[in-house]
Amino acid sequence: MKLGKRLSDLLFPPKCVFCRRRLESGDVCPDCAGDLPRCGRIRGRGEFFSRAAAPLYYEGRVREAMLRYKFRGRRGCAVPFSRLMAQCAGEELAGLYDVVAWVPVSRQRRRKRGFDQARLLARMTAERLGAPLVTALRKKRNTGANSKLGTREARTANVLGAFEAVNLPELRGKRILLIDDVYTTGATLSECSRMLLMAGAEDVVCLTLAAARKANKKEN
């Protein structure tokens, strides 16, 4: 082991990204690896995307880990998160996409957080999948958090017209794997997919790290 790595582990011992238990190595403890709430393909189809999947459900330790990543700047979480996402894409979405894109945050939100959490997940997941990453969308209007809105209708209205497609030549005729962090009602993913289809994309499939359990009900 290199001296720098040894000193780093002494000062900042590795911990499980989900339960924060100290580890000898790695980033997910055996208990979490075998006991996380697994999701997979999300039943039904979005209004403008043809399929969606997520490796985990957004609850318990998964929710807590994602909040640390998103609001406390724990960017290292993206390493195990992207590994789970790439595995899920291989199982549920293989052969359905040509390029990878992401749901961007607004300039104001990015400045406040210091990074775009979906872009980082998309970059690392695309690298694991060996797929090209394209900048396909821009958020042109800063919206209130969808998480504070209770209904799909309210969430849909909140993001309507908030995004625009960019780099149109790279999108025309392409099947796009669109990445975000959480799938709740699918309103944001659907609005982004609508813009991508209007820009000439052939199809959009979606991948998030986690999904609300209610999103996987058959009636959705």
For residue range 129-138, what is the model confidence (pLDDT) as tens digits?
A: 999 999 999 9
The mean pLDDT of 195-204, rounded to a whole number, is: 97
**In angstroms, rounded to a whole number, what is the distance separating the alpha carbons of residues 32 and 44?**
28
The mean pLDDT of 146-167, rounded to a whole number, is: 76
| Token code pair at residue 115 | 């990074």
Question: Can you give the pTM of this predicted structure?
Answer: 0.88
CA-to-CA separations, 166 to 111, 162, 176, in angstroms, rounded: 21, 13, 14
Between 12 and 79, residue with greater pLDDT: 79
Query: Is pLDDT above 80 for 201?
Result: yes
Query: Is pLDDT above 90 for 12?
Result: no
Rounded percentage of the chain residues whose pLDDT exceeds 70: 88
Structural contact between residues 201 and 172, judged by C-beta atoms closer than 8 angstroms:
yes
Query: Is pLDDT above 90 for 46?
Result: no
Query: Is pLDDT above 50 for 5?
Result: no
For residue range 90-108, what is the model confidence (pLDDT) as tens digits?
A: 999 999 999 999 999 988 8
Q: Which residue has the tokens 């999108």?
A: 171
Domains of the chain plus CATH, in order, are: 47-144+152-216 (3.40.50.2020)
pLDDT for the residue numbered 146: 61
